[in-house]
Amino acid sequence: MPKKIAYLDYSATTPVDGRVLQAMLPYFKENFANASSIHQAGLVSKAAVEQSREIIAKFLDAEAEEVYFTSGATESDNWAILGVIKAVKEKDKNFIPHVITSKIEHEAILDPLRQLEKEGVQVTYLPVDKKGLIQAGDVAAAIKPNTALVTIMYANNEVGTIQPIASIGELIRQANRQSRRQHKIHFHTDATQAPAYCDCGVNKLGVDLLSMSAHKIYGPKGIGALYVRQGTPLRPLLYGGGQQGGLRSGTYNVAGIVGFSKAVELLKQEKSKNKSIKRLRDYLISRIRKKIPSIMVNGDLIKRLPSNAHFIFKGVEGESILLMLSQKGLAVSTGSACSSGSLEPSHVLLAMGIPPELAHGSVRVTIGRQTTKRELDALIKELPPIIKKLRAMSPLSN
């Protein structure tokens, strides 16, 4: 068992920043009261929740009352989709809603949409190009009179491509201005991978709903948020205590909320590190290309998260590469951590036109604030002999 792991899977999760942990600790011990209690101790916790809501709202260029805390991005995504569609259907019982999304969304988007399709909701799955990019014009062309929701991810969790959300938002605004539309089109983006690197101002993006998660930005797991623009129809997923205006019941995770807001607060301060992260990523791609033949680098190399490097090693299974690197103390991924137990090839890579036999050979390397050149050099050293050995064993390369 290696004593020290070189962690290169930051898109799966990030370590909790020490400053975030310090901000959280008092709410596990001294200030542990329920934020819904009206006694003095409860009011201290409630104040921490509301201050955190203000911090996140400011980051989003939104109003505090538009920010709702959730258990994470999966809940936020499900709530945005199911909550909006339920609300518009309740308003007009005879209305059959239409939703536009893309083929490369996270399963937290695709699974609830599949469920809605079983209930009669129409869904259009837009294609992407070979770089994993959605064309804003394709969104506009897919709009129907009954389109109620568009949900497009901001940055892809596997190949790192950044989508033209602001352009899509403007096209949706133009469509909503048409006087003949009976139902407004609402726009949601899954921004889980975006906050550390992309502008998340909701007015600039033109979104009505936006999902976030703390553990992708050096905050704790189990806490996220959904931004909901005022006036957006939304029904609850959870019923119970009536917290957060009755829209999201459940005891406030005060320590998690405080940690989330501290992580958001630190994003601006840590933004200067993004250039060095990109330099390290580019160094890795360059060295791997020189040392290993018959590889592909996937995703757009410009419209891309600076932390993401995604490779396909032809003739090799990605899971085998991952396991052999793990034995060397190097932690990487074959794609989304949420679907790592699946033996199916990545739906993202298939949507990009990559054949299944090649998609199985994918490896995602994602770096972060603590990544060093020494760690990347270790990967660059260990990877070529592993690929050579696996190709010699593989019938796919013979």
Position 274 pLDDT exceeds 60: yes
- Indicate the angle between helix axes 73-91 and 107-118, nearest 10 degrees: 30
The pLDDT, as a whole number, for residue 47 is: 97
pLDDT in tens, 142-181: 999 999 999 999 999 999 999 999 999 999 999 999 867 8
Among 33, 247, 338, 350, the active-site one is 338
0.85 cut: is pTM over it?
yes
Task: Name the one residue in this structure whose structure tokens are 């993004």.
Answer: 274
Is 198 considered catalytic here? no
Rounded alpha-carbon distances, angstroms, from residue 272 to 118, 195, 267, 277, 305: 47, 14, 9, 9, 15
Cβ count within 10 A of residue 321 = 21
Task: Name residue 98's beta-bridge partners.
Answer: 122, 147
Position 295 pLDDT exceeds 50: yes
The pLDDT, as a whole number, for residue 394 is: 75
Alpha carbon distance 168, 173 (integer Å): 9
The torsion angles phi and psi of 272, rounded to 5 degrees, stand at -60, -20
Position 334 pLDDT exceeds 90: no
Q: Which H helix or E strand runs over 169?
A: helix 165-176
pLDDT in tens, 190-229: 999 999 999 999 999 999 999 999 999 999 999 999 999 9
Structural domains in the chain plus CATH codes: 6-15+271-397 (3.90.1150.10), 18-269 (3.40.640.10)
- Indicate the angle between helix axes 273-291 and 373-393, nearest 10 degrees: 30
Position 307 pLDDT exceeds 60: yes
Position 341 pLDDT exceeds 80: no
207: CB partners within 8 A, 6+ apart: 165, 169, 187, 188, 189, 227, 229
The pLDDT, as a whole number, for residue 335 is: 64
Rounded alpha-carbon distances, angstroms, from residue 233 to 93, 100, 139, 172, 184: 15, 17, 22, 17, 10
pLDDT in tens, 60-114: 999 999 999 999 999 999 999 999 999 999 998 899 999 999 999 999 999 999 9
Minimal CA–CA distance to 253: which of 34, 2, 54? 34
Cα Rg, the chain, nearest whole Å? 22
Alpha carbon distance 310, 94 (integer Å): 45
Q: What is the mean pLDDT of residues 8-32?
A: 97
Under DSSP, the state recorded for 182 is S
Least confident of 38-52, 82-96, 298-312, 336-350: 336-350
Position 337 pLDDT exceeds 60: no
The torsion angles phi and psi of 160, rounded to 5 degrees, stand at 80, 5
Is the pLDDT higher at 2 or at 13?
A: 13
Alpha carbon distance 86, 385 (integer Å): 54
At residue 343 the predicted structure's pLDDT band, cuts being 50, 70 and 90, is low
Task: State the pairing for strand pair 308-313/98-102.
Answer: unpaired
Q: What is the mean pLDDT of the chain?
A: 94
